[in-house]
Amino acid sequence: MSQVTDCARALGEAIVASDEYKNMQITEKAAMTDPAVAEAMGRYLELKEALNDVMRQEEPDPELIARYGSEMDEVQRAMNAMPAIDAMTASRQKFSELMNSVNQILEFIVTGEVAQGGGCSGNCASCGGCH
């Protein structure tokens, strides 16, 4: 292997060994084995499938769409209030921050440019305007 792929492999191993990754794995497993979470996720997926079925109809029923959407929102709110989901979401956010940091460092090393916040690529040619 080349030095680049060796370093990429080492970086991947370091990411997997990070506290952020390990914590994310632990909280995801805890959430997925929580009976209340499993029940809520099952209900959410049922509603999503029902909504998709309605949307595939030639003339979708707007009232049914609204009902399924409202029920999905209720289930989502209930899931977000569950401690296991809250912990999982927080750990995923921390892992995402780690990955964003790694990507910004790589981008800086490769391009010499610091990535701008808010999804800005630093290339104004494709920009809709600064915030």
Q: Are 83 and 101 in contact (CB under 8 A)?
A: no
Q: Tell me the pLDDT band of 114, cut-offs 50, 70 and 90.
A: confident
- The Cα 60–Cα 50 span in angstroms is 12
- Tell me how far CA of residue 116 lies from CA of 3, 112, 124, in angstroms: 29, 13, 11
Q: Which tokens is 46 given?
A: 């049922």
Q: What is the pLDDT of residue 20?
A: 98
Average pLDDT of the residues in 84-91 = 96
Give the up-direction half-sphere exposure of residue 126: CA atoms within 13 A in the CB hemisphere.
5
DSSP 3-state assignment of 59? coil
- Tell me what the pLDDT averaged over the chain comes to: 90
